Amino acid sequence: MTDFTLNGKPVSTTPATGERLSETLRESLGARDVKIGCNAGDCGACTVLLDGMPVCACLTPTQQAEGRQVHTLTGLQGDEIAARLRESFQDFGAAQCGICTPGIMVAAVALLRENPDPSEQQVQDALGGVLCRCTGYRKIIEAVLAVANPTPALDDPVGHTGTAIRRLDGQAKVEGREAFGDDVAPIGTLEILIIRSPYARSAFVLGDLGGFISAHNGVETVLTAADIPGQNRFGVIPDFADQPVFAVNETRFRGEAVAAIVATPDFIRQFDPADFPMTWEHLEDVQTIEQALEASAPQLHKGREGNIMCGGFVKCGDPQGALDNADITVQADFTTSFVEHAYIEPEAGFAQMVEGRVEIHACTQAPIMDRDALEIILAMDASRIRIVPTGVGGGFGAKLDLSVQPYLALATLKTGKPVRLTYSRTESMQSTTKRHPAQISLQIGARADGKLSGFKFFGNFNTGAYASWGPTVTNRVPVHASGPYRIADYRAETQAVHTHCLPSGAFRGFGVPQSAVAQETLFDELAEKLGMDALEFRLINALDNGVPTVCGQVFEQGVGIKACLKALRPAWEAERAKANAFNAENEVLKMGVGLAAGWYGCGNTSLPNPSTIKSGIRADGTVVLHQGAMDIGQGANTVIAQIFATALGMPVQQITLMGADTDVTPDAGKTSASRQTYVSGNAARLSGQALRAAILAQVNAGETAGLAFGDGEIIVTDGELTHRINLSQLPADTEGYTFRAEETYDPPTRPLDENGQGIPYAQFGYAAHLVVVTVDTALGLVKARKFVAAHDVGHAINPMLVEGQVQGGIAQGLGMALMEEYLPGRTENLHDYLIPTMGDMPPVETLIIEAPDAHGPYGAKGLGEHVLIPTAPAILNAIYNACGVRIRHLPATPARVRAAILEAGK
């Protein structure tokens, strides 16, 4: 028996030997505000106060709490410092997805109790042990500093587009009430343990499963491929669906599922997977592109000869002729690594049977796609499947694919009981998608006047064992590899190559960050060879209104790249002067300034990509927005509501948000391709406008009339006239709505022809980054000192959220540039796989550019993925500027940078 005080109340518990305090708090005492991200002290999400000291609950034996005080975020509700922090976190948008927020806030409370007015350095030292993957940390630092030095609250009473308001869903996050994938299952629910391949490629034989089940108390059942009622196959792109829920006979990557045990939590906790009745045989595998392309290589999939899954191609003009005629050419090869999404919330969910239907509560970016995939796996009509997304503790692309969902569904179907499944950090890293490693060869020419003359790009992408989003990456890259520039003579070809690695999939940018590394660093080389200023060189070649892209698409408006580049000019001049002065004084530490640009098309490439948004007015006057666009931290709940409120003409704070839930919200598509603000935002605008039109029509009011809702009526003020619509006198539909509007928006695109010519996207967003770095030339250590980021977002629906996206994207680009490299079997945890901490992220100055887009809601463009596209090449250009070496293999770790410096010195 262990007795202690939890959040001021005495508690008593009987932990097992070796039980972690985090588990006891969550699973015996119901403190689900304590989040588990790694179970190894690497992420700090489980930070609690033990007698006032921040500790990782996952590293604390529960018995050590005996007789002591434990505080979680929930227990600090009445604490004055915590109350001020909550307000401050809301005002700065310091919580995005919210999964790290409880750990961060608890650590911040401990700091502020000891030091009420800390310096920035002290904040970093105190909070550096909590990882955040969304915010880029700067908003967190600002929010903590603002407790002692308050700033004005974001309390705009209307909150229409263009206004920085607090997240509408933020309060639950800062109070620790947000329920994520692992937070909804009742205590004691049956759990699922997946048996995974220890080898990249293996043959296996399952043993006596019936005997295993009957021999072990607590084992409810075992699931294998034989339990799948429908097809043992899924994939986000139907034509390429190739991934089994459970491998049959042979596995294709380390960590692939072959079976699953459904059992009590007590059994699962103690079970060693080596005791599962089966045998493994390690088979010859291919893990690199080179190996996979060898003639003798084992073939992963029938019909994909030579392990080549698919390719992409865009061509215009005469690239070879233009290169031949160029005054100067540059050419180089580049490689990038697998990059892990490293959201702090591992995949998790809960499922149950409700009146003959399967109900799945899990973290996801794409509830309808989850349901579509389960229809096929379960051979069950969509009407019998309900997907209720939980809070999503970060996604960045990997939670577009199925993870826990099929196992949850199969387990609850087979047992008829509620079940839960939470991936361990290692399982999450082993089995979910990554950014594609790329091998890129690029040649670019230019004329003496600086105009580009010929561009030839070839990229192989390691797509791993299964298709996932590989086709999208190979498709998108040729369209984007030009960067936001006019290139008349262009050829870009890509290939997705299968290997026995985990599937590569979607990760913020779909391959474009990799191609931008090649293109933007070679642009700097061209500029240097031409003796031109790197910014000027880009401006000369930048796209503009009326200028065709490499796909032959011409935008008459909304091309904001020149504005982004020009916005960087003051910093470009000032920072280079500062760097020159610094370098004159320093021999070993060298400062460099780099810049890079990027663009990104919003939504699916030349494919239908609709979103539907429904709204209604209840008889009591409540305005309800059915908002099915998944908010994974980026802010869709707030942005979509702001757009809707603007269109309808009411304060955003008065809207009641519903969803996402496949029973409640129509299909707002997936949260990917930076499409929610643009596509779902447009659907919300249309829904708000339709609702408004219906109301105005009811009383024949003019278009400029004002609306007020409440107390069972709508008051329409039309100039001198005031109309009152008594809602109780109107018929209500089956959902209780007296007015309703369900509207769909689909971006106007056109297919690409065999040369990639057409209209791939209805809009692009544009960006340019400047970074200042220092390179410790003796150690190869690169440190980013400052970013200036100019982003053309068309119209900033919520400038605070725009800054949040920019800072968070930059942090991910920084990680990709300097430290992130996933190696299967070697970096399957968050201490060997490094992402930036609070100490790695410098200040970011965000310059919001608004070149309105004709298609975007109120001119708005997508933003999420655009951000990290220029970051890595800007850093590489800055490294060169600092110390004269070109790094072409990412990440630019200290060892690689130092080796390059030594090589250059020879």
Partner 1 sequence: MTYFAPDNLEDALAQLDTETTSVVSGGTDFFPGMQQGPAPESILDISRVEGLRGVSHESGGWRIGATTTWTDIIRANLPAAFDGLKQAACEVGSLQIQNTGTLAGNLVNASPAADGVPPLLSLRAQVELASVRGVRVLPLSEFITGVRQTALQAGEMVTAILVPPQPDHARAAFNKLGSRKYLVISTAMVAAVINRDAQGRIDHARVAVGACSPVAQRLPALETDLIGTTADVQITTVHLSPLAPISDVRGSGEYRLDAVAELIRRTITGASA
Q: What is the contact surface with partner 1 in residues (CB under 8 A)?
A: 15-20, 39-42, 44, 47, 53-56, 58-61, 63-64, 66, 107, 124-126, 128-131, 193, 269-274, 424, 778-781, 818-819, 821, 823, 826-827, 831-832, 834, 836-840, 893-895, 898-899, 902
C-alpha–C-alpha distance, residues 876 and 517, integer Å: 8
If you write DSSP's letter for every residue of 167-222 in order, what string do you get?
A: -TTHHHHHTT---BTTSSSPTT-EEEEEEE-SSSSEEEEE--HHHHHHHSTTEEEE
Contact 398, 504 (CB under 8 A): no
Residue 271 or 280 with smaller CB distance to partner 1: 271
Could you tell me if residue 509 is left (phi over 0), alpha (psi between -120 and 50 degrees) or otherwise beta? left
For β-strands 737-745 and 611-618, DSSP reports them as: antiparallel
User: Is 308 or 779 the residue whose CB approaches partner 1 more closely?
Assistant: 779
Whether 81 and 18 have beta carbons less than 8 Å apart is answered as: no
Smallest gap from Cβ 836 to partner 1, in A, equals 6
At 357, list the tokens: 């239907």
Residue 58 vs 492, nearer CB to partner 1: 58
What's the min distance (Å) between Cβ of 340 and partner 1?
Answer: 13
Choice between 488 and 779, CB closer to partner 1: 779
Contact 463, 309 (CB under 8 A): yes
Q: Which is nearer to partner 1, 382 or 902 (CB)?
A: 902
Shorter beta-carbon distance to partner 1: residue 42 or 178? 42
Sheet containing 278-282: order of strands: 250-251, 202-206, 278-282
> In the beta sheet, which residues pair with residue 327?
none
Residue 200 tokens read as: 């990249």
Burial of 441 (0-12, 13-18, 19+ CB in 10 A): middle
Cα–Cα distance for residue pair 891/816, rounded to 1 Å:
6
Helix axes 80-92, 138-148, angle to 10 degrees: 130
Contacts of 487 (CB under 8 A, 6+ apart): 316, 452, 455, 541, 550
> Closer to partner 1 at the Cβ: 724 or 826?
826
718 beta partners: 721
Which residue in 388, 375, 392 sits closest to 664, CA to CA?
388
| CB closer to partner 1, 568 vs 817 | 817
CA 453 – CA 220 distance, rounded (Å)? 67
Nearer to partner 1, 598 or 780 (CB): 780
* Helix, strand or coil, per DSSP, at residue 83: helix
Question: What is the nearest approach in angstroms of partner 1 to the Cβ of residue 767?
Answer: 25
CA distance 468 to 433: 8
CB-wise, 61 or 736, nearer to partner 1?
Answer: 61
For residue 296, give the 3-state DSSP assignment. Answer: coil
The residues, ordered by sequence, that sit 6+ positions from 188 with a Cβ below 8 Å of its Cβ are: 264, 265
707 versus 838: smaller Cβ distance to partner 1: 838
Beta carbon of residue 136, minimum distance to partner 1 (angstroms, whole number):
14
Pick the closer one to partner 1 by CB: 273 or 748. 273
434 vs 740, which CB is nearer to partner 1? 434
- DSSP-based three-state secondary structure for 749: coil
Q: In a 10 Å sphere around its CB, with 0-12 CB exposed, 13-18 middle and 19+ buried, how is residue 97 labelled?
A: buried
CB of 272 to partner 1, least distance (A): 3
Give 710 or 839: the residue with its C-beta nearer to partner 1: 839
Name the token pair of 332: 């180089």
CA distance 785 to 807: 14
Q: Among residues 467 and 900, whose Cβ is nearest to partner 1? A: 900
Question: In sequence order, what are the residues at sequence separation of 6 or more whose Cβ sits closer than 8 angstroms to the Cβ of residue 786?
Answer: 575, 771, 772, 842, 843, 844, 845
Enter the tokens of residue 304.
């994909």
Q: Which is nearer to partner 1, 588 or 697 (CB)?
A: 588
What's the CA gap between 585 and 52, in Å, rounded?
46
For residues 136-153, one letter each, b for 16 or more C-beta atoms within 10 angstroms of the residue's C-beta and e for the rest, the string is bbbbbbbbbbbbeeeeee
Token couple for 673: 């391709």
Closest separation in Å from C-beta 66 to partner 1: 7
**Smallest gap from residue 607 Cβ to partner 1 (A):** 39
- What six digits make up the tokens of 360? 């799945």
The smaller minimum CB distance to partner 1, of residues 131 and 479, is found at: 131
In DSSP terms, 361 is beta-bridged to 350, 388
Q: How far apart are CA 99 and CA 173, in angstroms?
A: 8
Query: How many of the other CB atoms lie within 10 Å of CB of 533?
Result: 17
Q: Which residues are CB-contacts of 799 (< 8 A; sequence separation ≥ 6)?
A: 162, 163, 164, 848
Closest among 768, 739, 747 to 847, alpha carbons compared: 768
Distance (Å, whole) CA 536 – CA 534: 6
**In the bound complex, what is the minimum distance in angstroms from residue 44's beta carbon to partner 1?**
6
CB of 64 to partner 1, least distance (A): 6
Q: How far is the CB of 898 from partner 1 (least distance, A)?
A: 6
User: Which one, 61 or 552, has the nearer CB to partner 1?
Assistant: 61
Looking at the DSSP bridge assignments, the partners of residue 889 are 335
